[in-house]
Amino acid sequence: RRQRALLWGVLLAAWEAAWGQLRYSVPEEMPKGSFVGDVAKDLGLQLPALRDRGFRVISEGRTQYFSLHEKTGYLVTAERIDREQLCRLVEKCVLRCELIVQGEMKFYEIEVEITDINDNVPSFREEEIQLRMSETTAPGSRFPLAEAHDPDSGRNSLQSYELSGDEHFSLAVQAGPGGDQRPELVLAKALDREEAAFHELVLRASDGGDPARTGTARIRVTVLDANDNAPVFSQAEYPVRVAEDVPVGSTLVTVTATDADEGLNGHVKYSMKKMSDMASDIFHLDSETGDVTLLRSLDFEEGDSYELQVQAHDGGALFDTTKVTIVVTDVNDNVPEISVRSAISEISEDASSGTVVALLHVQDRDSGANGEVHCSLDGGVPFRLQSSHGSYYSVVTAKELDREQVSEYNVTVRAADGGSPPLQSSAVLSLRVLDVNDNAPVFAQERYSARLAENNAAGALVLTVRATDADWGQNARVRYRLSEGRVRGAPLALFDVDRESGEIRTSGPLDFEEKNKYIFGLEARDGGGLVSHCKVQVDVTDENDNAPEI
């Protein structure tokens, strides 16, 4: 059967690449790693390019049900999926996830329908049903029976009931408002307690699977003496509205039924005749008082309404039925969630305005105004939020950046819902600005001057020039060299400059009587090729190095 389910899931897998969305289907209970769909092929993505750019598959909620096979580009199951556990309250079970292509800042929505297999047997809440009937009960009377429960869907769900065991009873099945089948025990022949005080019946519930699965419940009917008044509820229906944050143990409603009889025949007790498995874990009915109390906390996001059928029966087995409808109202109890789906950590300072630096997903599990989220950035940063598809936002540059003014940014994204008071959350994006060679070296002085006595030693320090560059790294590394002088005699041969330190030294002795002033240019060049210039003037002072000549 598992192999047939796998083949059926593969044959049913269908995709639709429209507006960046794919749709597939896969049977439940498939082993981890089972094929769902060829995402890479369906999206027209090349596997080498996809691996180079980086990708992630993100499912809604805390559990990741799918992953993308790196070598094949197939979407596969990451967990064994139980449809009945995952989608207890919905007919069509659809899981949504997103494929994030990080290098392209793109995302693709994927919907996977989880199809049902017949892995559950119809079952009754109680395997033995006790009924008490008066011997004066008229033929044709109907008695609601507990419904069987089969969490499967479609043909695999509950399809039919069958009764066997006694000619006094037959089975009728009524269709409920939601299409559900409600079995009723019909008295076909008058009872006689003196002839038979008990009747044993078997109720079978079958689903439509192939092969069909069947569950049974034994019915024991106890025949009682006459009781001519049935309990009567004060209301045919009890509507209740309650906030989801009501404390555990609170009494939500009290149902009341009265019986005109006396003694045991007038003593009323209450019981639940119909409620879902989830409701049985949440609500408790006191059989004596009729109080419906809360067993555990309500969650509007888990269930917003519940319907209970309550039966009041007296000591003589006569009964009345009422309906309790509990509507849960939303409370702002969920903080907006900010997920950074893709982000860069470095950006060049010459990046154009509108460059995307992060892709965010924001959601709030509340409903109405409590679930409406407004996003903003803290002020003072050259970035802005840009709304993308659905609940996605892009953080983009609002203007050109300048690393020399600010080299790093911590961009705080805040999300607030529409509740009163609103709940808030935040996320911080750290971004480093990369340098571009957009600043030339700058000399400390436009013109340098020094005085040096003649007959100096070779290598004598004349002066030190200094230029700074506001850039960073190699772009800020400054080197010096001499340029042409203004006068004849090529002073470049008389002076040397250290490329790294900017120290200007003589290459030999100077002679005041030959030349007493030198003016030449000096060039500073950074690692990116930007250049600036300054002028250097050296005045040679006289020494008494010549004797008088006659």
**Digit-coded pLDDT (tens) for 271-289:** 988 777 778 889 999 999 9
Reported as a single tens digit per residue, the pLDDT across 40-78 is 888 887 778 777 777 888 887 778 888 888 888 888 898
Alpha-carbon 4 to chain mean position: 33
Residue 286 lies in a domain: yes
DSSP 234: S
* Shared domain check, 450 and 516: yes
Of 440 and 53, the one with more pLDDT: 440
CA distance 26 to 29: 9
Return the closest-CA partner of residue 140 out of 190, 88, 77, 199: 190
* Shared domain check, 278 and 216: no
pLDDT of 350 higher than 70: yes
At which of 434, 456, 487 does a domain end?
Answer: 434
* Shared domain check, 462 and 382: no
Q: What is the mean pLDDT of residues 285-300?
A: 93
Predicted confidence band at 12 (pLDDT cuts at 50, 70, 90)? very low
Which amino acid does the sequence have at 360? L
- Kindly report the average pLDDT of the chain as a whole number: 86
At which of 329, 361, 394 does a domain end?
Answer: 329
Q: What is the mean pLDDT of residues 362-388?
A: 89
User: Residue 44: what pLDDT?
Assistant: 82
User: Where residue 106 sits, what CATH number does that domain have?
Assistant: 2.60.40.60
| Domain around 296 | 232-329
Q: Quickly tell me which residue has 């009764």 as its tokens.
A: 163
CA distance 413 to 341: 14
Residue 429 lies in a domain: yes
User: Residue 4: what pLDDT?
Assistant: 44
Residue 272 lies in a domain: yes
* Shared domain check, 182 and 133: yes
At which of 201, 224, 247 does a domain end?
Answer: 224
Of 192 and 485, the one with more pLDDT: 192
* Shared domain check, 425 and 484: no
Q: What percentage of the chain has pLDDT greater than the value 90?
A: 41
* Shared domain check, 250 and 201: no
User: Residue 366: what pLDDT?
Assistant: 85
Residue 15 lies in a domain: no
Residue 5 lies in a domain: no
* Shared domain check, 110 and 27: yes
Residue 378 lies in a domain: yes
Predicted confidence band at 237 (pLDDT cuts at 50, 70, 90)? very high
pLDDT of 368 higher than 50: yes
User: Residue 91: what pLDDT?
Assistant: 77
* Shared domain check, 217 and 242: no
Return the closest-CA partner of residue 357 out of 429, 304, 290, 408: 429
pTM passes above 0.75:
no
* Shared domain check, 392 and 366: yes
User: Residue 84: what pLDDT?
Assistant: 81
Residue 150 lies in a domain: yes
Domain count, the chain: 5
Residue 249 lies in a domain: yes
* Shared domain check, 417 and 467: no
Cis peptide before 211 (omega within 30 of 0): yes
* Shared domain check, 154 and 102: no
Reported as a single tens digit per residue, the pLDDT across 87-117 is 876 778 888 888 888 777 888 888 999 888 8
* Shared domain check, 316 and 396: no
How many H helices and E strands in the chain?
Answer: 5, 40
